[in-house]
Amino acid sequence: MTQKIIILLGPPGSGKGTQAVRISKNLGIPHISTGDLFRQHLKNNTDLGKKVRSYMDSGKLVPDTLVLDMLFDRVSKSDCRSGYLLDGFPRTLAQAEALEKHLNKSSTITAINLNVNDDTLVKRISGRLTCKACGHVHNTFFSPPSKTNKCDKCQGDLFHRDDDEASIVEERLRVYHQQTAPLIKFYKDKSVLTDINGEDPADTVFNNISKVLKKRG
Ligand code: AMP
């Protein structure tokens, strides 16, 4: 059986999380976000959580070894056997190479790169409000909730991620351009990457991604 791995690439705020939820639901494969996994460790105050807090709070990347152990442990679970979707991983060439080594011959990679310009990203990220209960994302600039700090979908409480503050957003974008953007070439050279315009409305982006995934089979 082929194991299908979908990699969502794109800067912070490009819509990877929103698209990942929809794709994983649509295809019935797990959505694995290394950022979410780390945030869970922070919340539970685990040893790993204590180690990664300072990196996350300052918008820096967590060291590769810590990321890789956590990620490979997660993807070895039985729900990942037929495939999974990666959101926020890989973030460095070393991580991409480690993933290649980890995969077996029956694994295929499809990489989707969401393009969004930096000005839009800053607004998207610094305005982002996520629902604690259902994960739905509002934005103070583009899609404000009808009731302050309450989710329109489920009335859950909305929160603003600590690392979504403007100064940290700038650092995250700098880190993205320096360390993660080179992955676009890495996957282009392997002919597995498709560029998608992430400035389009979310439904259009989702339809365009779905077309690519259908084509790749
Ligand atoms: P995200 O939710 O994907 O924006 O990730 C939030 C933060 O978690 C990042 O700014 C990093 O500090 C850390 N992080 C998440 N994924 C990775 C990764 N693959 N490599 C290194 N750090 C990561």
Tell me the pLDDT tens digit for each residue of 51-100.
999 999 999 999 999 999 999 999 999 999 999 999 999 999 999 999 99
pTM: 0.89
**Binding site membership of 125 for ligand 1 (Cβ less than 6 Å):** no
Task: Quote the mean pLDDT of the chain.
Answer: 94
Alpha carbons 116 and 181: distance in angstroms, whole number: 12
- The number of distinct structural domains making up the chain is 1
Domain containing 192 equals 3-30+77-117+179-216
Alpha carbons 132 and 64: distance in angstroms, whole number: 28
Whole-number pLDDT of residue 103: 94
Task: Pick the catalytic residue from 16, 39, 43, 53.
Answer: 16
Residues 97-144 pLDDT 10s: 999 999 988 999 999 999 999 889 988 888 999 999 998 889 998 899
**Residue 160 three-state SS:** coil
Residue 96 maps to a domain: yes
Asked if the model's pLDDT at residue 216 lies above 90, the reply is no
Residue 141 maps to a domain: no
Ligand 1 atom having least distance to the Cα of 175 = 10
Residue 16 maps to a domain: yes
CB 124 within 8 A of CB 145: no
Task: Pick the catalytic residue from 128, 132, 147, 174.
Answer: 128
CB 16 within 8 A of CB 10: yes
Band the pLDDT of 192: cuts 50, 70, 90. Answer: very high
* Edge-to-edge strand ranges of the sheet holding 3-9: 31-33, 83-87, 3-9, 107-115, 193-197
Residue 107 maps to a domain: yes
